[in-house]
Amino acid sequence: MRPAYALIPAAVPVVALVAGLPFANRLEPMVLGMPFLLAWILGWVAATPAFLAVAYTIHRKASAGPGAGGGR
Chain residues in the site for other proteins (CB under 8 A): 6-7, 10, 13-14, 17-19, 21-22, 25-27, 33-35, 37-38, 41-42, 44-46, 48-49, 51-53, 55-56, 59, 69-72
Q: Which residue's CB is nearer to other proteins, number 66 or number 71?
A: 71
CB of 58 closer than 8 Å to CB of 16: no
Q: Measured between alpha carbons, how far is 12 from 21 in angstroms, rounded to an integer?
A: 13
CB of 10 closer than 8 Å to CB of 51: yes
Q: Which residue's CB is nearer to other proteins, number 22 or number 65?
A: 22
DSSP type of residue 64? -
Q: Work out how close the CB of 16 gets to other proteins at its nearest, in angstroms, rounded to a whole number.
A: 10
Residues forming beta bridges with residue 34, ordered by sequence position: 31
Q: Work out how close the CB of 57 gets to other proteins at its nearest, in angstroms, rounded to a whole number.
A: 10
